[in-house]
Structures are given as structure tokens and as C-alpha cells.
Amino acid sequence: MRLLERSPDGGFRLTKDFVSGNIPPYAILSHTWGPDSEEVTFQDVTKSTGEDKAGYEKIRFCAAQAQRHGLQYFWIDTCCINKENNTELAEAINSMFRWYQDAVRCFVFLSDVPGPSRERGGLPPSQSWEPAFRASRWFTRGWTLQELLAPNTVHFFARDGALLGDKMSLKQLIHETTGIAVRALCGDPLTRFEIEERFRWAESRQTTREEDWAYSLLGIFGVFISPIYGEGKDNAVHRLRKEINDKLNSEGRSILQIGIFLAQQVWHC
């Protein structure tokens, strides 16, 4: 896992690839992508280019928020993954849920939500941005589902950088917008929710590449599959469901074996 590290002069650099167990505390960004030409890529960062791209402001934003929370490191999907390396991309897809889960803070940047203002029709600040919040593109994308559910601490920001609230203070609004159970937003283990309920949370969401609809759900079901771009959504979902069923069957066999063992111990007593 590569991270961006803040430097004393206010800049940042891409770190080495940290191995599991050695990863320092870090913040993580959740956002929706603009056109590819606007996003800062891994190649941009390694070549110290891309400052003229619109996406560079999101890096500055995340760096500033990380600093406010005393964090030296932060992670952004657009530029911390070398997507030209298929092996690295596959590892990232299978690790993404855990990366968001392990982040100290997750910052959600809502580029289509204006900040609070008392000037909009005389409404209180909390109500002026709520319609745009409910309609935000962020709630329609496939990858942002796990980015909402995985971290313990999720802060939502308007496009001007104003803090709108966090996952706990906005849980009812998020529930009404997404249909996701409040208990899931409050951190109940996802295994407590039925398989089909978790699929319903994602059914109306979209991804740029059709197979990503299935790949973006791996962490939500706690399974792993290799991405095969070109297989189509139906095949990817079929492989995902097969992996889920195999996991359930394996867990069922383990529980049965434990039950038999305990029964044998009682019999011998």
C-alpha cells in the first residue's frame, strides 16, 4: 500500500509500498471521479506533474484535513495505485475495503454539494444543502458504498470545504437517501445483514466499467476474486455469488464440525 506523505513545506510525496503490519496511521479520501483528464494519476505524482489538473485540489484538500487531525499520511485512489500494473490493480481491488476500514479518518468530498448558507431562500444552514446532499452523485456510485460502510469515522464536506457532518450525525439522512440500515451505518458487522439485503444496497448504483459493480462488493461480503475485465457484469456477479456461497458452505461445515466435537466431549464425560 502506497501513501502520500505530507512534507514540512506543505507539499507531499508518494511513499514506498508499505507491507501489511507496517502501515502508519493514515487518512483516506472518498470522492467521485471527474473526466480522466482532470484526475491526478500515479504517473503524474511520480513525475511531479498534474498540478494544473482540477483533481489536484482534492489532494490539497485531503492533505489539509489530514494535517488538522495530526496525520502525516493520506491515501487517494486516483494517484496511489499504479493502474497500468495489472497485478497491483488486482491487489488493490481485493484490499480496498480493508484500506478504508483501517483508515483513521475518511474524508468524503462532495463536489456537487454547496456549503451551508443562510442566503438560500432564508433557510437555516442545515437545510440549505440537504436537497443537494440527497441528490449527490456520490450516493449513486458503486465504489462509494464500501467507502461509506468500511470506515468507523466518515466526515462529509461540501465543495467549498465546509464540514457538513459525519456518518453518525447524518445517519438518518443517509439512511433515507440510500436505504441502508441505520445499524449498518452505526457499525454493526455486515455479516448480521442478509446477503440479499446487502445486494439491495448496491442495486441502483453504477460503475464506469460494468464488471466493477461486482468487484466493488467484495469487501461487503468478505470474499476475494481476481478481476477479469471483459467478462461482463453478469459473469462477474456469478463468480461473486459463487464465492459467497462457497464461503457460507465452508463456514457451515466448520460450525457443524465444532458442534460434533463438543457433543463428543459431553458424551465422553
Reply yes or no on whether the pLDDT at 83 is more than 80: yes
Burial degree of 59 (CB within 10 A; 0-12, 13-18, 19+): buried
Mean of pLDDT values over 9-29: 87
How far apart CA 40 and CA 218 sit, in angstroms, is: 26
pLDDT band, residue 124 (cuts 50/70/90): low
When the pLDDT of each residue in the chain is averaged and rounded to a whole number, the result is: 90
Amino acid at 84: E
pLDDT band, residue 18 (cuts 50/70/90): confident
Mean of pLDDT values over 247-252: 87
Reply yes or no on whether the pLDDT at 170 is more than 60: yes
For residue 41, what are the CA distances in angstroms to 2, 53, 54? 13, 10, 12
N-terminal to C-terminal alpha carbon distance within the chain: 51
Residue identified by cell 459525519 is: 166
Reply yes or no on whether the pLDDT at 121 is more than 60: no
pLDDT band, residue 34 (cuts 50/70/90): confident
Mean of pLDDT values over 13-32: 90
Please list the residues that pair with 81 across neighbouring strands.
none
pLDDT band, residue 17 (cuts 50/70/90): confident
For residue 37, what are the CA distances in angstroms to 42, 53, 54, 55, 186? 13, 7, 9, 9, 37
How far apart CA 164 and CA 162 sit, in angstroms, is: 6
Contact 98, 145 (CB under 8 A): no
Lowest mean pLDDT among 53-57, 125-129, 135-139: 125-129
- In this prediction the pTM is 0.89
User: How many C-beta neighbours within 10 Å does residue 267 have?
Assistant: 7
Reply yes or no on whether the pLDDT at 109 is more than 80: yes
Mean of pLDDT values over 239-267: 71
For residue 62, what are the CA distances in angstroms to 205, 242, 263? 25, 38, 55
Cell numbers at 122, concatenated: 432564508
The whole-number pLDDT of residue 211 equals 98
User: How many C-beta neighbours within 10 Å does residue 36 have?
Assistant: 11
